[in-house]
Amino acid sequence: MSEHFELLLKDPQSSARRGRLKTLHGVIETPIFMPVGTQATVKGLTPAQIKEDVGAQIILGNTYHLNLRPGSELIRDAGGLHKFMGWDGPILTDSGGFQAFSLAKLSKLTEDGVAFQSHLDGSKVFLGPKEVMGIQANLGSDIAMVIDECPPYPCSKDACEKAIERTTRWAKACKQIATDNGFLESGHHVFGIAQGSEYEDMRRRSAEELSELDFPGYAIGGVSVGEPEPEMLKQVRATAPFLPEDKPRYTMGLGTPPQMLKMIAAGVDMFDCVLPSRVARNGAFFTPDGMKNIRNSRFTTDLNPLVEGMDNYTCRNFTRAYLRHLTMAKEMLSCTLLTLHNLHFYLDLMQQVRTHLETGDFSSWSSEWIARYEADGE
């Protein structure tokens, strides 16, 4: 068992796990969802709201975006990302590898890293293992991600194999750099990222190669990149069993509440996704009966909370009618209140998962929860 991650129990009916991850800025109870703070802020919320009303244990920042603006050196000189943004809990930072995929028209892949044109001003940027680990050291990330190559979906098996070879090579370099500069020794964590696209044998190969490098944790990358949900779930199930049991497992960049429950059952411990805050800005909110939209005219005179009995600031204090009024009037407060509710809904779901794992009925509870959500969603 690793010193920083304690596997507390395994569900007898599935591959779900209950764990505890120690970081320099606090302990994280898993399974867990991480709100996304790409630009050193979770959109629309203060750090106090994120901690007290959302219940977040850890948030995510982005290496690529923060290096472009305001610059990792400035953040370093300000005392690190925690102090710069006023958040004293753990922070995980993505490496920028996904931006190579999502900004493919502005980037060029080489054997040493990814050359970018900045999406802000067109200036030249290069991210390789040295740059990525240096930026994340400047940020003071509790969990830093290696740089990887995220192949598109679909892709040929030959292209996938080359992406895996490059990902493993870069991962080795990232770990060596984090070892040499004292990043790992001082208590920060570095996670490897397994790739493999739709090919199960490639997924296994990538997971096994990275496992040999003995990272503090591992991510399942290259999912939710355009493939249908059944394929995405298949990719996760093809990867997780070949990652070390005594290390945390993180699926990057997803998902909906049912997707997370299904991936927890496959052995995943950590998630992040922009969905809760992004849909809030368009009036959508999550309920146990699926996602609804506050713009719907049926909420015009509805004096109930978004979710009856849900203990967050939005549900304790405001009605659906009021929130619809704010949204239709284009008031900024509507985005804040809906974002707060949506993120709390995700974190509350993770708390329910941990509770049901401890009581031993996770599988039956999860199946019933998913059936209700998917039956009644809009």
Which residues belong to the active site?
A: 94, 272
Tell me the sheet residues that pair with 286: 291
Q: Which two tokens stand for residue 277?
A: 């805050």
Neighbours of 237 (CB within 10 A): 19
Pairing of strands 143-145, 91-94: parallel
Q: Residues within the annotated binding site for substrate?
A: 94-98, 148, 195, 222
Q: Would you list which residues are annotated within the binding site?
A: 94-98, 148, 195, 222
- If phi > 0 it is left, if psi is from -120 to 50 it is alpha, else beta; for residue 10 that is beta
The tokens describing 168, both together, are: 């493993």
Give dist(CA 131, CA 112) in Å, integer.
11
333 burial (CB, 10 Å; 0-12 / 13-18 / 19+) is middle
Name the residue with tokens 């506050």. 294
* Nearest to 183, CA basis, from 1, 5, 27, 24: 24
Q: How far separated are the first and last CA of the chain, in Å rounded?
A: 44
